[in-house]
Amino acid sequence: MSTRILSEFKKVLNESKNIAVLTGAGISAESGIGTFRGPTGIWRTHNAIDLATPEAFASNPSLVWEFYQWRRTVAFDAKPNNAHIALAKFEEKCNDENRTFTLLTQNVDGLHIKAGSKNVLEIHGSLRKVICTKCKRVDVNLDQPICEALRGRGDPNEESTSVIPISELPKCGKCGSLIRPYVVWFGENLDRNILAKCHEAVESCDIFLVVGTSSIVYPAASFAPSVADRGKPVAEFNIEDSPASSRFQFYFPGQCGTTLPLALST
212 is in an annotated binding site: yes
Task: Count, in order, helices (H) and strands (E) of the chain.
Answer: 10, 11
Query: Does the annotation place 170 within a ligand binding site?
Result: no
- 152: annotated binding-site residue? no
| Listed residue (139, 193, 168, 1) closest to 9, CA to CA | 1
257 marked as part of a ligand binding site: no
Contact 218, 225 (CB under 8 A): no
User: Annotated binding residue at 39?
Assistant: yes
Q: Annotated binding residue at 254?
A: no
Q: Known binder of ligand: residue 168?
A: no
Q: How far apart are CA 248 and CA 25, in angstroms?
A: 20
- Whether 124 is catalytic is yes
Catalytic residue among 84, 112, 124, 199: 124
Task: Confirm if 74 and 43 have CB atoms less than 8 A apart.
Answer: no
Those residues whose C-beta lies under 8 Å from the C-beta of residue 30, and which sit 6 or more positions away, are: 81, 83, 212, 255, 256, 257
Is 38 annotated to bind ligand?
yes
Answer yes or no: is 73 a known binding residue: no
Tell me whether residue 236 is annotated as binding: no
Task: Report, as residue numbers or ranges, the catalytic residues.
Answer: 124
Annotated binding-site residues read 24-43, 68, 71, 106-109, 132, 135, 172, 175, 212-214, 238-240, 256
- Residues forming the annotated binding site for substrate? 68, 71
Binding-site residue positions for Zn(2+): 132, 135, 172, 175
